[in-house]
Structure formats: C-alpha cells, structure tokens
Amino acid sequence: MEFTWLKTFITAAECENFRRTAEILHVSQPSVTVHIKLLEEELGMSLFLREGRRVKLTIEGRRYLQNAKKLMEVYESGLEDLNAFQQGYHSKLCIGISPLIADTILPSVLKRYVKVHSEVEISIKIIESEDIESAVLNEEVDLGLSCLGSSHSEITSQLLYKDKVVLVAPHDGLDFEAAPPLDEKEVLLSNYLLTHNHPGYWEDLSRGIKLLYPGVRMMKVSQIHITKRFITEGLGVSFLPLSTVRRELLEGRLLEVDCYSLDLPDADTYALTKYNHEKQREFLAYLSGYRF
C-alpha cells in the first residue's frame, strides 16, 4: 500500500468528485481512478459507489476513512519530525496562549528564548483563556499560558506573575503638568465603562463599581486591543492590565486615572501543564525570570 493512494482516497471522500480530487492533488483524473482501484484491490473491497459524475463512500469506505486519516497523520507527523531534525531542531514545544498574552508579553520573551535555545522547535496556538485548560488536558499543547488558573486534578497551575490593573481614559488634550488630575467619579459617570475584556477580574470589579456608582453606563467589549482603540477614539474608559497599556501611557495617548474608592484587582497570568517535562520546565523557568 502506498500513502499516495490513501491521500487520494481521503481527498476523494471529502469532495465526492474524482475530477475535483485531481485538481486539488494536481494529478490527472485517470491517476485518481487508478489510485482508488489499487487501494480497493489491496483492501479487497469497494470504497466508492459511482453516481454519475459524483462518487459516494460505501459502508466499508466510511468505516475505513477514519483509519486512513490516522495512518496519514502518523506518516505526515514522521515527515515533519525528520524535517525538523534536519533543520537542527532536536525537540518541540507547542504552547497555547491567550490573545492577550500573545499581544503583550510573549513576543519579547520568545525572541530572547529562541536565541538561547535554537534547538527547540516552537509552535504557537492562539486559544482563548477559557479553552486553554481543555487544550492542555487533551494534549493539544504542551503547556498553556492563560489569564485563568485551573483546579483540575490532572493540571498543574502555576502563577507566573501579577499585573497591576489601572483605570485608563483618553487624553484630554491638556498639558500634563498644568492640568488637574482626572477625577475617578467624574470619569466613570461621564463615559461608557468598557468591560469584560479580560476573563479574570471583571465580574467582581463590575459589581463593586455598580455599588459605588449606580449610574455608570457599561459596554461589553471582549478584546483588549479593541478596547484600547475605542478609548483612544473617545468612546469610553476601562480598567486594563498595566502591561497592556504601558506604551500608550508613556506616549501620552492614554491617561491613567487615580482610583481612591475602588480596591483594584490584579490581572494574573498562569502556566498550565499536564506533564512536568524538561522543556516545559526550562521554558517556564526562563519565563518566570523575565521582568514585565
């Protein structure tokens, strides 16, 4: 049996048309027919029913499809491993990270890490924090960097660092030294409060704000980078992790508002792992030593 036959079979099963299969695989249509015929002879059964120009899997074909896909996955995984070894990679590390972490701390850390550990092949999967625990548990990634911890018995949850949460508002156009400080109450009651852009702290924080300032108007915005854009455009204010707005504050595009009435939370970042392997430990030790 040849893997080209399996690839042709899987493609034909998905598009149910030999002509389209030939176009996808960049082979002739007679070659597709030959591959399927040879595979059917090898297995001793018919895999397709011909219905005019279309083909449909037989009962046997449907049953064999899943096995064929598994065989192709093993074959392609072996090729990827050999290619990585030829390129000088001796190990792999697949990291699942939340969009927030991917947009803030990871690029600078990763840039330094790969310079020191050029033998490690890194792959990154962007996953919402709510789904990272499942990805680690199902071994879709080797480790996860999440805004949420885990209490699952098979998952080790390590707090990497705490990030200060600050109230930020758009620049008011006034001179920084001459202008009076922004007032927390006035800022919150005269603007929309953009909420729920971080999965870890908004439920408790929004309740506390509503108790102090019942008249505050809230608008849910699920992504921090969109929240920042809305704030700079004057659409509202928000409580954001300091690391996500440090540059905008330094450049004067956003202003920090001192909070005197609210007990502000921290934005936590966790590392989630299922196994305590060397590469996971090495990467996390490097990450833990980084100052944010």
Say what the pLDDT of residue 174 is: 62
Confidence at residue 175, expressed as pLDDT on a 0 to 100 scale = 57
CA atoms within 13 A on the CB side of 86: 6
Strands 120-126 and 254-257: unpaired
| Comparison of pLDDT for 226 and 177, the residue scoring more | 226
Residue range 18-32: mean pLDDT, rounded: 90
Contact in structure between 98 and 225 (CB atoms under 8 Å): no
Residue that wins the pLDDT comparison between 181 and 29: 29
pLDDT of residue 88: 46
| Residue 226, amino acid | I
The pLDDT tens digits of the residues spanning 160-173 come to 889 999 999 998 76
Residue 89 has pLDDT above 60, yes or no: no
Is the pLDDT at 84 greater than 60? The verdict is: no
In this structure, of 96-100, 249-253, 278-282, the range with the lowest mean pLDDT score is 278-282
Q: What is the mean pLDDT of the segment spanning 241-261? A: 90
pLDDT at residue 277 in the model: 82
**Contact present, 257 and 185 (Cβ < 8 Å):** no
pLDDT of residue 53: 76
Sign of torsion over alpha carbons 127, 91, 70, 79? positive
Neighbours of 3 (CB within 10 A): 14
- For residue range 124-174, what is the model confidence (pLDDT) as tens digits? 899 999 999 999 999 899 899 999 999 999 999 999 889 999 999 998 766
Q: How many CB atoms lie within 10 A of CB 162?
A: 13
228 C-beta neighbours (distance < 10 Å), count: 22
Mean pLDDT value across residues 3-31? 89
Residues in CB range of 42: below 8 A, 6 or more apart: 1, 5
Contact 271, 133 (CB under 8 A): no
Residue 230 has pLDDT above 80, yes or no: yes
Highest mean pLDDT pick, 116-130, 160-174, 176-190, 199-213: 199-213
Over residues 45-62, mean pLDDT: 87
Q: What is the dihedral of CA 230, 233, 236, 239, to 10 degrees?
A: 60
Cβ–Cβ < 8 Å for 201, 267: yes
Q: Which helix (H) or strand (E) holds 22?
A: helix 18-25
Q: Which residue segments constitute the domains of the chain, with CATH numbers given? A: 3-86 (1.10.10.10), 91-160+268-288 (3.40.190.10), 163-266 (3.40.190.290)
d(CA 248, CA 258) in angstroms, rounded, equals 16
Share of the chain above pLDDT 90, in %: 45
First to last CA, the chain: 54
pTM for the model stands at 0.64
pLDDT in tens, 257-277: 999 898 899 999 999 999 888
Is it the case that residue 292 has pLDDT exceeding 90? Answer: no
Cβ atoms of 61 and 89 within 8 Å: the answer is: no
Please check the confidence at residue 178 and state whether its pLDDT lies above 70.
no
Closest alpha carbon to 122 in 110, 133, 131: 110
Average pLDDT value over all residues in the chain: 86
Q: For position 189, what pLDDT does the model report?
A: 95
In contact, 272 and 136? CB cutoff 8 Å: yes
The phi-psi region of residue 115 (left if phi > 0; otherwise alpha if psi is between -120 and 50; otherwise beta) is alpha
